[in-house]
Amino acid sequence: MKPSYEVDMRLDVEVPMRDGVNLSADIYLPRASGKFPTMLMRTPYSNNDAGSVEKARSFANSGYVCVVQDTRGRWDSDGEHYPFTHDGEDGYDTQEWIGRQEWSSGKIGMAGGSYVALVQWQSAPHRSEHLTCMVPRAICPDFFSGLIYPGGALQLNVALSWGMRTNARTAQSIDYHNWTEVFSTLPVVDMAEKAGRDLGFWRDWIKHSTYDDYWKAIDVEGKWGEIAAPAFNMGGWFDLYAKETFVNYNGLRKEGRTPEARQSKLIVGPWPHALSKSRKTGDIDFGADSHVDLDTMEMRWFDYWLKGEQNGILDEPPLRLFIMGANQWRDEHEWPLARTDWQKWHLHSGGSANSVFGNGQLGLTEPGDEPADRYVYDPRFPVQTMGGANCCSPGIVPWGPYDQRSVEARSDVLVYTTDTLQEDMEVTGPIKLVLYAETDGPDTDWTAKLVDVSPSGYAMNLTDGILRARYRESRTDPTLLTPNKVYRYEIDVGVTGNLFRKGHSIRIEVTSSNFPRFDRNLNTGHVPGMDTEMRTAGQTVHHTREYPSHLVLPVVPKV
Residues with catalytic roles: 114, 239, 273
Q: Tell me, what amino acid is at 406?
A: S
The answer to whether 26 and 48 are in contact (CB under 8 A) is yes
Distance CA 533, CA 428 (A): 41
Q: Would you mind telling me the total number of residues written for the chain in this entry?
A: 559
- Which residues, including other chains, have CB under 8 Å from residue 229's CB and lie 6 or more apart? 124, 131, 132, 133, 134, 260, 261
Looking from the CA of 82 toward its CB, the CA atoms found within 13 Å total 12
Phi/psi region, residue 231 (left: phi>0; alpha: psi -120 to 50; beta: rest), is beta
Angle, CA 44 vertex, CA 398 and CA 151 arms, to 5°: 50
Distance CA 520, CA 529 (A): 10
Residue 119 CB-density burial (10 A; 0-12 exposed, 13-18 middle, 19+ buried): buried
Q: How far is CA 150 from CA 240, 415, 417, 475, 520, in A?
A: 10, 23, 26, 10, 13
Distance CA 441, CA 529 (A): 18
- The phi and psi torsions of 173 (rounded to 5 degrees) equal -75, 135
What per-residue string of b and e applies to 320-349 under the rule 16 or more CB within 10 Å gives b?
Answer: bbbbbbebeebebeebbbeebeeeebbbbb
